[in-house]
Amino acid sequence: MSKKNVFVVVALAVCVLATAGGLLASNMGFKLNYALTGPLGVGGAGTGKQLLSLPYFRQTGVNNALDLILDIGGGVVTPVASVTKYNKINDGLIVYNGRMTSPTPTPFVLAPGEAYLVQMNTNVGYTASHY
């Protein structure tokens, strides 16, 4: 094999590896899988409270606390007791339970980089997606 042919084969192999590496290393989409467990009485562990972090660029349509509750519950409110957010302004908590009887009847807006405390009623597998 001549030096020219060896060079072409090596260059072609490098191009193939670079292309494959770029495809495999892409971060265009990912999923965070959570096992959200309810309280001990329903087969969960502890109190049923978990801290949840969402992808920085959330799934389309998950913009406020009610959207998050419905997304976790598969379209229904019942699996989630409440979603709580830290209020930096008064060093307190904002609690939303998806019902009009909540201390906060209007759902708060979800913000990138914030964590939320989710109180579960039942065990749910939740996948937070980034698109």
Residue 53 pLDDT: 79
The radius of gyration of the chain from alpha carbons, rounded to an integer in Å, stands at: 23
Q: What is the pLDDT of residues 76-128, one digit of tens each?
A: 888 999 999 999 899 999 999 988 766 668 899 998 888 899 999 999 888 87
From residue 2, give the alpha-carbon distance in Å to each of 6, 8, 14. Answer: 6, 10, 19
Q: What is the pLDDT of residues 22-76, one digit of tens each?
A: 555 455 556 677 788 888 877 777 788 998 877 776 667 788 999 999 999 888 8
Q: State how far the Cα of 42 lies from the Cα of 62, in Å rounded to an integer.
A: 27
pTM over 0.85: no
pLDDT band at residue 129 using 50, 70 and 90 as cut-offs: low
By C-alpha distance, which of 72, 9, 86 is closest to 38?
72
Q: How many CB atoms lie within 10 A of CB 94?
A: 17
Record the tokens describing residue 81, joined without a space. 């007791």
